[in-house]
A and B are shown apart, each in its own frame.
Chain A
Amino acid sequence: MKFDNELLNYLCGLSKVSLKESEREEFLLSLKELVEEFSIISNLEDEPVEIENSEYLTLREDISINCNNIDKIKDNFPFIKDDFLEVPKILNEE
Protein backbone atom coordinates (compact mmCIF):
# COMPACT_ATOMS: atom_id res chain seq x y z
CA MET A 1 0.00 0.00 0.00
CA LYS A 2 1.28 3.46 -0.94
CA PHE A 3 0.39 6.32 1.35
CA ASP A 4 1.21 9.23 -0.97
CA ASN A 5 0.06 12.71 -1.87
CA GLU A 6 -2.67 11.35 -4.11
CA LEU A 7 -4.18 9.30 -1.30
CA LEU A 8 -3.86 12.24 1.10
CA ASN A 9 -5.72 14.49 -1.35
CA TYR A 10 -8.45 11.88 -1.72
CA LEU A 11 -8.86 11.61 2.08
CA CYS A 12 -8.90 15.42 2.46
CA GLY A 13 -11.67 15.59 -0.13
CA LEU A 14 -13.75 12.97 1.67
CA SER A 15 -13.12 14.59 5.08
CA LYS A 16 -13.82 18.12 3.81
CA VAL A 17 -10.60 19.58 5.16
CA SER A 18 -7.73 21.16 3.28
CA LEU A 19 -4.09 21.23 4.28
CA LYS A 20 -1.69 24.13 3.85
CA GLU A 21 1.45 23.40 1.85
CA SER A 22 3.48 23.71 5.05
CA GLU A 23 1.27 21.10 6.79
CA ARG A 24 1.15 18.64 3.91
CA GLU A 25 4.63 17.20 4.42
CA GLU A 26 4.11 16.76 8.16
CA PHE A 27 0.71 15.09 7.75
CA LEU A 28 2.00 12.80 5.04
CA LEU A 29 4.89 11.66 7.21
CA SER A 30 2.89 11.16 10.41
CA LEU A 31 -0.04 9.43 8.71
CA LYS A 32 2.33 7.16 6.80
CA GLU A 33 4.04 6.20 10.06
CA LEU A 34 0.73 5.59 11.86
CA VAL A 35 -0.73 3.52 9.02
CA GLU A 36 2.45 1.43 8.87
CA GLU A 37 2.44 0.92 12.64
CA PHE A 38 -1.25 0.02 12.68
CA SER A 39 -1.09 -2.26 9.63
CA ILE A 40 -0.08 -5.08 12.01
CA ILE A 41 -3.83 -5.45 12.48
CA SER A 42 -4.31 -6.74 8.93
CA ASN A 43 -2.20 -9.79 9.84
CA LEU A 44 -4.95 -10.93 12.18
CA GLU A 45 -6.42 -14.20 10.90
CA ASP A 46 -10.17 -14.09 10.39
CA GLU A 47 -12.05 -16.08 12.98
CA PRO A 48 -15.66 -16.18 14.10
CA VAL A 49 -16.62 -13.34 16.39
CA GLU A 50 -17.78 -14.73 19.72
CA ILE A 51 -20.70 -13.17 21.47
CA GLU A 52 -20.20 -12.87 25.18
CA ASN A 53 -22.67 -14.99 27.10
CA SER A 54 -23.34 -13.23 30.35
CA GLU A 55 -25.92 -11.48 32.42
CA TYR A 56 -24.47 -8.21 31.14
CA LEU A 57 -25.93 -8.89 27.69
CA THR A 58 -29.49 -9.05 28.99
CA LEU A 59 -28.92 -5.59 30.44
CA ARG A 60 -28.12 -4.33 26.95
CA GLU A 61 -31.57 -5.16 25.63
CA ASP A 62 -33.69 -2.16 24.87
CA ILE A 63 -35.52 -1.97 28.16
CA SER A 64 -37.28 1.25 28.95
CA ILE A 65 -37.10 2.55 32.50
CA ASN A 66 -39.20 5.49 33.53
CA CYS A 67 -37.41 8.75 33.88
CA ASN A 68 -38.53 12.34 33.68
CA ASN A 69 -35.88 13.74 31.35
CA ILE A 70 -38.13 14.00 28.31
CA ASP A 71 -40.47 16.56 29.82
CA LYS A 72 -37.55 18.72 30.87
CA ILE A 73 -36.10 18.60 27.38
CA LYS A 74 -39.46 19.52 25.89
CA ASP A 75 -39.46 22.55 28.18
CA ASN A 76 -36.27 23.65 26.47
CA PHE A 77 -37.96 23.70 23.08
CA PRO A 78 -41.37 25.26 23.71
CA PHE A 79 -41.57 26.40 20.08
CA ILE A 80 -42.05 22.83 18.82
CA LYS A 81 -45.80 22.25 18.72
CA ASP A 82 -47.62 19.01 17.94
CA ASP A 83 -48.91 20.36 14.65
CA PHE A 84 -45.38 21.04 13.39
CA LEU A 85 -45.45 18.16 10.93
CA GLU A 86 -48.88 18.80 9.44
CA VAL A 87 -49.42 17.47 5.94
CA PRO A 88 -49.07 20.32 3.43
CA LYS A 89 -52.39 21.55 2.12
CA ILE A 90 -51.60 20.89 -1.48
CA LEU A 91 -51.24 17.16 -0.76
CA ASN A 92 -54.62 17.05 0.94
CA GLU A 93 -56.21 18.68 -2.06
CA GLU A 94 -54.71 16.08 -4.40
Chain B
Amino acid sequence: MKNNLEILSLSISELKSYYKSGDLTPLEVSIEYLKRIKEIEPEIDAFIEVFEEEALKEAEKLTKLKKFDMPLYGIPIAIKDNINVKGHETKASSNILKGYKSTFDATVVERLKDAGAIILGKTNLDEFAMGSSTENSAFKLTKNPYSKEFVPGGSSGGSAAAVSAKEALVSLGSDTGGSVRQPAAFCGVYGLRPTYGLVSRYGLIAFASSLDQIGPIGRNLNDLFLLLSTIAGKDNLDSTTLAIKSYNDLPDETLIGKFATIKEFEDITIDREIFERYEEVKKLLMEKFTITQYSFPHYNYALPAYHIIADSEASSNLSRFDGIRYGARDNANSFEDTINSTRTSNFGKEVKRRILLGTFALSQGYIDKFYKKALLARNIISRELTSILNEVDFILAPTTPTLPFKFGEKKDPLKMYYSDIFTIPSSLAGLPSINIPAGLSDSGLPVGIQVIGSKLSEKKLYKISKYIKVELNV
Protein backbone atom coordinates (compact mmCIF):
# COMPACT_ATOMS: atom_id res chain seq x y z
CA MET B 1 0.00 0.00 0.00
CA LYS B 2 1.22 3.50 -0.77
CA ASN B 3 1.99 6.01 1.94
CA ASN B 4 0.18 9.30 2.36
CA LEU B 5 2.49 11.50 0.29
CA GLU B 6 2.71 8.98 -2.54
CA ILE B 7 -1.07 8.86 -2.78
CA LEU B 8 -1.27 12.66 -2.88
CA SER B 9 1.23 12.71 -5.74
CA LEU B 10 -0.75 10.41 -8.03
CA SER B 11 -2.32 11.87 -11.18
CA ILE B 12 -5.88 11.15 -12.27
CA SER B 13 -4.85 8.37 -14.66
CA GLU B 14 -2.56 6.79 -12.05
CA LEU B 15 -5.30 6.89 -9.42
CA LYS B 16 -7.77 5.37 -11.85
CA SER B 17 -5.45 2.50 -12.67
CA TYR B 18 -4.92 1.80 -8.94
CA TYR B 19 -8.70 1.86 -8.45
CA LYS B 20 -9.14 -0.63 -11.27
CA SER B 21 -6.46 -2.98 -9.95
CA GLY B 22 -7.95 -2.78 -6.47
CA ASP B 23 -4.77 -1.34 -4.90
CA LEU B 24 -6.62 1.79 -3.81
CA THR B 25 -10.24 2.85 -3.37
CA PRO B 26 -11.89 6.29 -3.62
CA LEU B 27 -12.58 6.06 0.11
CA GLU B 28 -8.90 5.53 1.00
CA VAL B 29 -7.82 8.37 -1.25
CA SER B 30 -10.47 10.76 0.08
CA ILE B 31 -9.41 9.96 3.65
CA GLU B 32 -5.80 10.82 2.74
CA TYR B 33 -6.80 14.14 1.14
CA LEU B 34 -9.01 15.07 4.11
CA LYS B 35 -6.13 14.19 6.47
CA ARG B 36 -3.84 16.43 4.44
CA ILE B 37 -6.38 19.27 4.62
CA LYS B 38 -6.61 18.91 8.43
CA GLU B 39 -2.82 18.91 8.69
CA ILE B 40 -1.94 21.80 6.43
CA GLU B 41 -5.05 23.96 6.27
CA PRO B 42 -4.22 25.95 9.43
CA GLU B 43 -1.08 27.14 7.61
CA ILE B 44 -2.50 27.66 4.09
CA ASP B 45 -6.16 28.68 4.63
CA ALA B 46 -7.17 27.69 1.11
CA PHE B 47 -10.66 26.45 1.99
CA ILE B 48 -13.73 28.35 3.14
CA GLU B 49 -15.64 25.13 3.81
CA VAL B 50 -14.57 21.48 3.79
CA PHE B 51 -17.30 18.92 3.03
CA GLU B 52 -15.76 16.17 5.16
CA GLU B 53 -18.84 14.13 5.90
CA GLU B 54 -20.35 14.47 2.44
CA ALA B 55 -17.06 13.69 0.67
CA LEU B 56 -16.58 10.52 2.71
CA LYS B 57 -20.15 9.45 2.04
CA GLU B 58 -19.72 9.99 -1.70
CA ALA B 59 -16.36 8.18 -1.66
CA GLU B 60 -17.92 5.23 0.13
CA LYS B 61 -20.73 5.12 -2.43
CA LEU B 62 -18.29 5.22 -5.34
CA THR B 63 -16.07 2.57 -3.74
CA LYS B 64 -19.04 0.20 -3.65
CA LEU B 65 -20.19 1.20 -7.14
CA LYS B 66 -16.87 0.26 -8.83
CA LYS B 67 -17.80 2.23 -11.99
CA PHE B 68 -14.21 2.56 -13.21
CA ASP B 69 -15.25 3.92 -16.61
CA MET B 70 -16.56 7.18 -15.13
CA PRO B 71 -14.14 9.89 -16.39
CA LEU B 72 -13.39 11.28 -12.92
CA TYR B 73 -14.21 8.20 -10.85
CA GLY B 74 -13.12 8.91 -7.25
CA ILE B 75 -11.15 12.08 -8.08
CA PRO B 76 -10.98 14.60 -5.21
CA ILE B 77 -11.63 18.16 -6.37
CA ALA B 78 -11.98 21.62 -4.81
CA ILE B 79 -14.40 24.28 -6.09
CA LYS B 80 -14.03 28.06 -5.94
CA ASP B 81 -16.62 29.57 -3.63
CA ASN B 82 -18.31 31.61 -6.37
CA ILE B 83 -19.63 28.41 -8.00
CA ASN B 84 -22.87 26.97 -6.64
CA VAL B 85 -22.82 23.54 -5.01
CA LYS B 86 -26.28 22.45 -3.92
CA GLY B 87 -26.91 22.40 -0.18
CA HIS B 88 -23.82 24.44 0.70
CA GLU B 89 -23.24 28.13 1.26
CA THR B 90 -21.91 30.03 -1.77
CA LYS B 91 -20.55 33.30 -0.47
CA ALA B 92 -18.02 34.41 -3.10
CA SER B 93 -15.96 35.40 -0.04
CA SER B 94 -18.40 38.21 0.72
CA ASN B 95 -20.24 39.04 3.94
CA ILE B 96 -23.25 40.02 1.85
CA LEU B 97 -23.86 36.37 0.90
CA LYS B 98 -23.43 34.98 4.42
CA GLY B 99 -26.17 32.46 5.02
CA TYR B 100 -27.05 32.01 1.33
CA LYS B 101 -27.34 28.30 0.64
CA SER B 102 -27.27 27.12 -2.98
CA THR B 103 -30.49 25.48 -4.09
CA PHE B 104 -28.94 24.02 -7.22
CA ASP B 105 -25.65 22.79 -8.67
CA ALA B 106 -23.81 24.90 -11.23
CA THR B 107 -23.67 23.06 -14.57
CA VAL B 108 -19.93 22.42 -14.12
CA VAL B 109 -20.57 20.92 -10.67
CA GLU B 110 -23.37 18.75 -12.03
CA ARG B 111 -21.04 17.49 -14.78
CA LEU B 112 -18.28 16.77 -12.27
CA LYS B 113 -20.66 14.84 -10.03
CA ASP B 114 -21.99 12.88 -12.99
CA ALA B 115 -18.38 12.03 -13.91
CA GLY B 116 -17.69 10.57 -10.46
CA ALA B 117 -15.67 13.41 -8.89
CA ILE B 118 -15.63 13.85 -5.11
CA ILE B 119 -16.04 17.47 -4.02
CA LEU B 120 -13.81 18.16 -1.02
CA GLY B 121 -14.98 21.72 -0.38
CA LYS B 122 -15.13 25.37 -1.42
CA THR B 123 -12.04 27.52 -1.77
CA ASN B 124 -11.23 31.09 -0.85
CA LEU B 125 -11.16 33.98 -3.36
CA ASP B 126 -11.05 37.74 -3.55
CA GLU B 127 -14.56 39.01 -2.77
CA PHE B 128 -16.71 38.45 -5.90
CA ALA B 129 -13.46 37.49 -7.73
CA MET B 130 -12.28 41.11 -7.69
CA GLY B 131 -8.57 41.09 -6.99
CA SER B 132 -5.20 39.56 -7.74
CA SER B 133 -4.00 38.40 -4.31
CA THR B 134 -7.00 36.88 -2.46
CA GLU B 135 -6.40 39.61 0.16
CA ASN B 136 -9.88 40.98 -0.63
CA SER B 137 -11.61 37.94 0.87
CA ALA B 138 -13.93 38.91 3.73
CA PHE B 139 -13.00 35.73 5.60
CA LYS B 140 -9.34 34.77 5.54
CA LEU B 141 -5.91 35.27 3.99
CA THR B 142 -4.79 32.34 1.86
CA LYS B 143 -1.03 31.85 1.93
CA ASN B 144 1.24 30.85 -0.93
CA PRO B 145 2.32 27.22 -0.32
CA TYR B 146 5.85 28.09 -1.54
CA SER B 147 6.30 30.74 1.15
CA LYS B 148 3.65 31.79 3.63
CA GLU B 149 4.66 35.46 3.68
CA PHE B 150 3.59 35.73 0.04
CA VAL B 151 0.16 35.95 -1.58
CA PRO B 152 -1.14 33.03 -3.67
CA GLY B 153 -2.38 35.41 -6.38
CA GLY B 154 -6.04 35.84 -7.19
CA SER B 155 -8.80 35.84 -7.45
CA SER B 156 -8.75 31.99 -7.50
CA GLY B 157 -5.99 31.99 -4.85
CA GLY B 158 -7.67 29.31 -2.72
CA SER B 159 -8.14 26.94 -5.68
CA ALA B 160 -4.52 27.34 -6.82
CA ALA B 161 -3.07 27.07 -3.30
CA ALA B 162 -5.17 23.96 -2.52
CA VAL B 163 -3.82 22.14 -5.59
CA SER B 164 -0.27 23.37 -5.03
CA ALA B 165 -0.33 22.26 -1.35
CA LYS B 166 -1.79 18.85 -2.35
CA GLU B 167 -5.03 19.53 -0.50
CA ALA B 168 -6.90 18.63 -3.70
CA LEU B 169 -5.83 16.84 -6.85
CA VAL B 170 -7.48 19.39 -9.14
CA SER B 171 -9.72 22.42 -8.70
CA LEU B 172 -11.99 24.82 -10.51
CA GLY B 173 -11.42 28.56 -10.57
CA SER B 174 -12.96 31.38 -12.57
CA ASP B 175 -11.00 33.73 -14.82
CA THR B 176 -12.28 37.21 -15.72
CA GLY B 177 -9.01 39.04 -16.40
CA GLY B 178 -6.47 36.41 -15.31
CA SER B 179 -7.94 34.96 -12.10
CA VAL B 180 -7.04 31.36 -12.98
CA ARG B 181 -3.71 31.93 -14.78
CA GLN B 182 -2.16 34.47 -12.37
CA PRO B 183 -2.70 32.43 -9.14
CA ALA B 184 -1.63 29.29 -11.02
CA ALA B 185 1.62 31.10 -11.91
CA PHE B 186 2.10 32.27 -8.30
CA CYS B 187 1.48 28.77 -6.89
CA GLY B 188 3.47 26.83 -9.51
CA VAL B 189 0.59 24.88 -11.08
CA TYR B 190 -1.18 24.73 -14.45
CA GLY B 191 -4.19 26.98 -14.96
CA LEU B 192 -6.30 27.24 -18.09
CA ARG B 193 -8.71 29.93 -19.23
CA PRO B 194 -10.88 28.23 -21.91
CA THR B 195 -12.29 29.97 -24.99
CA TYR B 196 -15.20 32.19 -23.93
CA GLY B 197 -18.34 30.10 -24.32
CA LEU B 198 -16.70 26.67 -24.14
CA VAL B 199 -17.66 26.18 -20.48
CA SER B 200 -21.06 27.01 -19.01
CA ARG B 201 -21.29 29.89 -16.54
CA TYR B 202 -24.67 28.72 -15.23
CA GLY B 203 -24.33 28.73 -11.45
CA LEU B 204 -21.22 30.92 -11.39
CA ILE B 205 -21.86 34.14 -9.45
CA ALA B 206 -21.52 36.78 -12.16
CA PHE B 207 -18.81 39.43 -11.88
CA ALA B 208 -18.48 40.50 -15.54
CA SER B 209 -20.64 38.22 -17.66
CA SER B 210 -18.98 38.98 -21.01
CA LEU B 211 -15.55 38.05 -19.58
CA ASP B 212 -16.09 35.40 -16.87
CA GLN B 213 -15.02 31.83 -17.70
CA ILE B 214 -14.65 28.85 -15.40
CA GLY B 215 -11.28 27.12 -15.80
CA PRO B 216 -9.40 24.11 -14.41
CA ILE B 217 -6.29 24.14 -12.23
CA GLY B 218 -4.02 21.10 -11.83
CA ARG B 219 -0.52 19.80 -11.16
CA ASN B 220 -0.49 17.68 -14.29
CA LEU B 221 -1.39 18.57 -17.89
CA ASN B 222 -3.41 15.41 -18.53
CA ASP B 223 -5.42 16.08 -15.35
CA LEU B 224 -6.04 19.66 -16.45
CA PHE B 225 -7.39 18.75 -19.88
CA LEU B 226 -9.35 15.78 -18.57
CA LEU B 227 -11.08 18.17 -16.18
CA LEU B 228 -11.71 20.59 -19.05
CA SER B 229 -13.19 17.84 -21.22
CA THR B 230 -15.59 16.95 -18.39
CA ILE B 231 -16.96 20.46 -17.95
CA ALA B 232 -16.81 21.74 -21.57
CA GLY B 233 -19.74 21.81 -23.97
CA LYS B 234 -23.02 23.49 -24.76
CA ASP B 235 -25.40 24.15 -21.91
CA ASN B 236 -28.95 25.21 -22.69
CA LEU B 237 -29.00 27.07 -19.36
CA ASP B 238 -26.25 29.45 -20.53
CA SER B 239 -27.07 31.09 -23.85
CA THR B 240 -23.46 32.26 -24.27
CA THR B 241 -22.13 28.69 -24.52
CA LEU B 242 -21.02 27.67 -27.98
CA ALA B 243 -22.75 24.98 -30.01
CA ILE B 244 -20.12 22.37 -29.26
CA LYS B 245 -21.36 19.18 -27.72
CA SER B 246 -18.11 18.13 -26.08
CA TYR B 247 -14.35 18.61 -25.94
CA ASN B 248 -13.97 15.82 -28.53
CA ASP B 249 -15.77 17.99 -31.08
CA LEU B 250 -13.13 20.72 -30.88
CA PRO B 251 -10.99 21.12 -34.01
CA ASP B 252 -7.74 19.17 -33.87
CA GLU B 253 -5.52 21.22 -36.15
CA THR B 254 -1.89 20.42 -36.80
CA LEU B 255 0.77 22.85 -35.70
CA ILE B 256 2.27 25.09 -38.37
CA GLY B 257 5.34 25.61 -36.22
CA LYS B 258 5.12 29.35 -35.59
CA PHE B 259 5.07 31.39 -32.39
CA ALA B 260 4.53 35.11 -31.96
CA THR B 261 5.88 37.38 -29.28
CA ILE B 262 4.44 40.84 -28.69
CA LYS B 263 6.79 43.77 -29.19
CA GLU B 264 4.91 46.04 -26.77
CA PHE B 265 4.87 43.35 -24.04
CA GLU B 266 8.63 43.34 -24.13
CA ASP B 267 8.68 47.03 -23.21
CA ILE B 268 6.77 46.40 -19.94
CA THR B 269 8.96 46.36 -16.83
CA ILE B 270 9.02 42.87 -15.41
CA ASP B 271 11.00 41.10 -12.68
CA ARG B 272 14.46 40.09 -13.87
CA GLU B 273 13.94 36.40 -13.12
CA ILE B 274 10.66 36.25 -15.04
CA PHE B 275 12.35 37.94 -18.00
CA GLU B 276 15.25 35.46 -17.89
CA ARG B 277 12.93 32.45 -17.71
CA TYR B 278 10.81 33.82 -20.55
CA GLU B 279 13.90 34.36 -22.72
CA GLU B 280 15.09 30.85 -21.89
CA VAL B 281 11.79 29.30 -22.99
CA LYS B 282 11.88 31.40 -26.17
CA LYS B 283 15.37 30.14 -26.93
CA LEU B 284 14.37 26.52 -26.37
CA LEU B 285 11.33 26.92 -28.61
CA MET B 286 13.43 28.46 -31.37
CA GLU B 287 15.10 25.09 -31.92
CA LYS B 288 11.86 23.74 -33.41
CA PHE B 289 9.64 26.79 -34.01
CA THR B 290 9.88 30.05 -35.86
CA ILE B 291 9.38 32.90 -33.42
CA THR B 292 8.36 36.25 -34.88
CA GLN B 293 7.85 39.49 -33.06
CA TYR B 294 4.53 41.19 -33.85
CA SER B 295 3.21 44.61 -32.96
CA PHE B 296 0.01 44.91 -30.91
CA PRO B 297 -0.52 48.67 -31.30
CA HIS B 298 -3.54 49.06 -29.00
CA TYR B 299 -2.16 47.02 -26.08
CA ASN B 300 -2.09 50.12 -23.82
CA TYR B 301 -5.88 50.34 -24.11
CA ALA B 302 -6.30 46.81 -22.71
CA LEU B 303 -6.13 47.61 -18.99
CA PRO B 304 -8.53 50.62 -19.13
CA ALA B 305 -10.91 48.78 -21.49
CA TYR B 306 -10.92 45.71 -19.25
CA HIS B 307 -11.62 47.63 -16.04
CA ILE B 308 -14.26 49.88 -17.57
CA ILE B 309 -16.14 46.93 -19.09
CA ALA B 310 -15.69 44.57 -16.12
CA ASP B 311 -16.63 47.17 -13.51
CA SER B 312 -19.61 48.42 -15.53
CA GLU B 313 -20.93 44.86 -15.77
CA ALA B 314 -20.17 44.33 -12.07
CA SER B 315 -22.09 47.44 -11.04
CA SER B 316 -25.12 45.98 -12.80
CA ASN B 317 -24.60 42.31 -11.77
CA LEU B 318 -24.07 43.15 -8.11
CA SER B 319 -27.20 45.30 -7.88
CA ARG B 320 -29.10 42.09 -7.07
CA PHE B 321 -27.34 41.91 -3.69
CA ASP B 322 -29.71 44.14 -1.79
CA GLY B 323 -30.40 42.24 1.43
CA ILE B 324 -33.87 41.39 0.19
CA ARG B 325 -33.25 38.39 -2.01
CA TYR B 326 -30.04 36.77 -0.78
CA GLY B 327 -27.84 36.42 2.27
CA ALA B 328 -27.23 39.11 4.86
CA ARG B 329 -29.70 41.90 5.72
CA ASP B 330 -29.22 44.98 7.88
CA ASN B 331 -32.74 46.03 8.83
CA ALA B 332 -33.31 49.78 8.77
CA ASN B 333 -36.33 52.11 9.01
CA SER B 334 -37.33 51.93 5.36
CA PHE B 335 -37.02 49.64 2.36
CA GLU B 336 -34.51 52.00 0.68
CA ASP B 337 -32.45 52.37 3.87
CA THR B 338 -32.37 48.59 4.36
CA ILE B 339 -30.85 48.15 0.90
CA ASN B 340 -28.36 50.96 1.42
CA SER B 341 -27.35 49.81 4.87
CA THR B 342 -26.97 46.15 3.82
CA ARG B 343 -24.75 47.03 0.85
CA THR B 344 -22.74 49.59 2.81
CA SER B 345 -21.87 47.33 5.71
CA ASN B 346 -21.45 44.04 3.83
CA PHE B 347 -19.54 44.91 0.64
CA GLY B 348 -15.76 45.19 1.03
CA LYS B 349 -13.72 48.22 -0.02
CA GLU B 350 -12.55 46.90 -3.42
CA VAL B 351 -16.05 45.79 -4.39
CA LYS B 352 -17.44 49.23 -3.52
CA ARG B 353 -14.65 50.90 -5.49
CA ARG B 354 -15.42 48.83 -8.58
CA ILE B 355 -19.18 49.34 -8.31
CA LEU B 356 -18.62 53.11 -8.09
CA LEU B 357 -16.21 53.08 -11.04
CA GLY B 358 -18.62 50.99 -13.11
CA THR B 359 -21.54 53.25 -12.23
CA PHE B 360 -19.40 56.22 -13.25
CA ALA B 361 -18.50 54.67 -16.64
CA LEU B 362 -22.19 53.97 -17.35
CA SER B 363 -23.62 57.26 -16.13
CA GLN B 364 -25.00 59.97 -18.37
CA GLY B 365 -22.26 62.30 -19.58
CA TYR B 366 -19.51 59.67 -19.26
CA ILE B 367 -20.92 56.59 -21.01
CA ASP B 368 -19.81 57.81 -24.46
CA LYS B 369 -16.30 58.71 -23.29
CA PHE B 370 -15.71 55.60 -21.21
CA TYR B 371 -17.99 52.58 -21.64
CA LYS B 372 -18.63 52.92 -25.38
CA LYS B 373 -14.96 53.67 -26.08
CA ALA B 374 -13.99 50.63 -24.00
CA LEU B 375 -16.23 48.44 -26.15
CA LEU B 376 -14.56 49.88 -29.24
CA ALA B 377 -11.10 49.25 -27.77
CA ARG B 378 -12.10 45.66 -27.01
CA ASN B 379 -13.14 45.16 -30.64
CA ILE B 380 -9.85 46.58 -31.93
CA ILE B 381 -7.81 44.49 -29.46
CA SER B 382 -9.66 41.29 -30.48
CA ARG B 383 -9.04 42.11 -34.12
CA GLU B 384 -5.33 42.74 -33.59
CA LEU B 385 -4.78 39.55 -31.60
CA THR B 386 -6.83 37.47 -34.03
CA SER B 387 -4.86 38.78 -36.99
CA ILE B 388 -1.59 37.76 -35.28
CA LEU B 389 -3.02 34.32 -34.50
CA ASN B 390 -4.07 33.92 -38.15
CA GLU B 391 -0.37 33.74 -38.99
CA VAL B 392 1.02 31.72 -36.08
CA ASP B 393 0.00 28.86 -33.79
CA PHE B 394 0.39 30.71 -30.49
CA ILE B 395 1.45 33.87 -28.74
CA LEU B 396 4.08 33.43 -26.03
CA ALA B 397 4.11 35.84 -23.07
CA PRO B 398 4.95 35.91 -19.38
CA THR B 399 1.89 35.21 -17.21
CA THR B 400 2.71 37.89 -14.63
CA PRO B 401 5.01 40.91 -14.57
CA THR B 402 6.22 40.09 -11.03
CA LEU B 403 6.97 37.13 -8.81
CA PRO B 404 4.48 36.54 -5.96
CA PHE B 405 4.50 39.59 -3.67
CA LYS B 406 4.17 39.93 0.10
CA PHE B 407 0.88 40.54 1.91
CA GLY B 408 0.08 44.25 2.05
CA GLU B 409 2.77 45.10 -0.50
CA LYS B 410 0.38 46.39 -3.17
CA LYS B 411 -1.95 48.83 -1.44
CA ASP B 412 -2.40 51.09 -4.47
CA PRO B 413 -5.29 49.66 -6.55
CA LEU B 414 -3.67 50.66 -9.83
CA LYS B 415 -0.47 48.78 -8.97
CA MET B 416 -2.55 45.73 -8.12
CA TYR B 417 -4.46 46.01 -11.43
CA TYR B 418 -1.15 45.90 -13.30
CA SER B 419 -0.64 42.33 -11.97
CA ASP B 420 -2.96 41.22 -14.80
CA ILE B 421 -1.36 43.23 -17.59
CA PHE B 422 -0.33 40.09 -19.56
CA THR B 423 -3.53 38.10 -18.98
CA ILE B 424 -6.12 40.80 -19.72
CA PRO B 425 -5.72 41.03 -23.54
CA SER B 426 -6.70 37.39 -24.17
CA SER B 427 -9.63 37.76 -21.73
CA LEU B 428 -10.93 40.73 -23.72
CA ALA B 429 -10.62 38.76 -26.96
CA GLY B 430 -12.18 35.58 -25.52
CA LEU B 431 -9.06 33.54 -26.39
CA PRO B 432 -7.92 30.40 -24.57
CA SER B 433 -4.67 30.70 -22.66
CA ILE B 434 -2.70 28.59 -20.25
CA ASN B 435 -0.18 29.17 -17.49
CA ILE B 436 2.68 26.70 -17.68
CA PRO B 437 4.84 26.48 -14.54
CA ALA B 438 8.41 27.29 -15.59
CA GLY B 439 10.50 26.56 -12.53
CA LEU B 440 11.45 28.62 -9.51
CA SER B 441 13.24 31.91 -8.95
CA ASP B 442 16.45 32.10 -6.90
CA SER B 443 14.29 32.93 -3.90
CA GLY B 444 12.28 29.73 -4.44
CA LEU B 445 9.11 31.36 -5.81
CA PRO B 446 7.27 29.99 -8.88
CA VAL B 447 7.54 31.56 -12.34
CA GLY B 448 4.87 31.08 -15.01
CA ILE B 449 4.85 31.31 -18.79
CA GLN B 450 1.67 31.95 -20.76
CA VAL B 451 0.67 30.50 -24.11
CA ILE B 452 -2.30 32.09 -25.90
CA GLY B 453 -4.11 30.30 -28.74
CA SER B 454 -6.88 31.13 -31.21
CA LYS B 455 -10.48 30.50 -30.30
CA LEU B 456 -11.24 26.81 -29.70
CA SER B 457 -7.58 25.80 -30.05
CA GLU B 458 -7.55 23.95 -26.69
CA LYS B 459 -6.40 20.69 -28.29
CA LYS B 460 -3.45 22.49 -29.85
CA LEU B 461 -2.74 24.19 -26.51
CA TYR B 462 -2.56 20.78 -24.87
CA LYS B 463 -0.05 19.54 -27.47
CA ILE B 464 2.22 22.55 -27.18
CA SER B 465 2.07 22.63 -23.38
CA LYS B 466 3.07 18.98 -23.33
CA TYR B 467 5.90 19.70 -25.76
CA ILE B 468 7.16 22.63 -23.67
CA LYS B 469 7.00 20.63 -20.46
CA VAL B 470 8.19 17.22 -21.62
CA GLU B 471 10.42 17.82 -24.65
CA LEU B 472 11.92 21.12 -23.57
CA ASN B 473 11.89 20.16 -19.89
CA VAL B 474 10.92 23.70 -18.82
Question: Which A residues lie at the B interface, using CB under 8 A?
Answer: 1, 7-8, 10-12, 14-19, 23, 27, 30-31, 33-35, 37-42, 44, 46-47, 49-50, 52, 54, 56, 58-65, 67, 69-70, 72-73, 76-77
Contacts and interface: CB of A to CB of B under 8 A. Distances in A.
Contacts of A37: 304, 414
B408 interface: no
A35 B110 contact: no
A21 to B, nearest CB: 13
B13 interface: no
A23 to B, nearest CB: 7
Contacts of A41: 301, 304-305, 308, 369-370, 373-374, 377
Given A64-B236, A73-B104, A16 B347 contact: no
A77 B414 CA distance: 44
Q: Interface residues of A: mostly helix, strand, loop or mixed? A: helix
Contact of A17 (B110, B245, B352, B370): B352
Contact of A44 (B103, B339, B356, B377): B377
Contacts, number: 138
Interface stretch (B27-35, B131-139, B378-386): B378-386
Contact of B340 (A16, A38, A40, A42): A16
Interface in B1-49: none
Interface string B234-245: 111101101111
B344 A18 contact: yes
Contacts of B379: 49-50
Contacts of B272: none
B357 interface: yes
B427 interface: no
A11 B360 contact: yes
A64 B234 CA distance: 8
Given A39-B369, A40-B300, A49-B376, A33 B197 contact: no
Interface in B351-397: 352-353, 355-357, 359-360, 363, 366, 369-370, 373-377, 379-380, 382-383, 386
Contacts of A50: 379, 383
A63 to B, nearest CB: 4
